[in-house]
């Protein structure tokens, strides 16, 4: 789960998201989004799609895995939470080792 506001995500981070999805076939990436700022959600979705497509030019297998992960809905956008619920969600997250 990525708790940063979407407007704070640098495009360089897009490749990191795709790496996680490619290297862990069970991974799901969750972003917090603000329904009042839908344009940021659409921008990030487009950037991830573009980065995955660009990856197919240099590494077709990795690009295909990234595109498949995106197509299979392994990137989710959940509505921004009130502060108390946000803190509780942060405390409940864990990572599996790759």
Q: Which residues of 20-43 are buried (b: 16+ CB within 10 A; e: fewer)?
A: bbbebeebebebbbeeeeeebeee
Q: Is the pLDDT assigned to residue 62 strictly greater than 60? A: yes
> What CA–CA distance (Å, rounded) separates 55 from 32?
25
Secondary structure of residue 6 in the 3-state scheme: helix
As a whole-number percent, the residues of the chain with pLDDT over 70 amount to 94
The token duo for 3 is: 């708790």
Domains of the chain, by residue range, sit at 6-92
pTM of the entire structure? 0.82
Q: Are 98 and 10 within 8 A, CB to CB?
A: no
């Amino acid at each position: 789960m990525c708790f940063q506001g979407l407007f704070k995500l640098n495009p360089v981070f897009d490749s990191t998201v795709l790496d996680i999805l490619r290297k862990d076939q069970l991974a799901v990436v969750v972003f917090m989004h603000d329904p009042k700022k839908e344009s940021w959600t659409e921008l990030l979705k487009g950037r991830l799609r573009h980065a995955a497509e660009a990856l197919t030019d240099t590494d077709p297998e990795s690009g295909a895995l990234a595109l498949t992960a995106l197509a299979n809905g392994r990137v989710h956008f959940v509505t921004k939470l009130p502060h108390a619920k946000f803190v509780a969600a942060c405390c409940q997250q864990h990572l599996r080792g790759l």
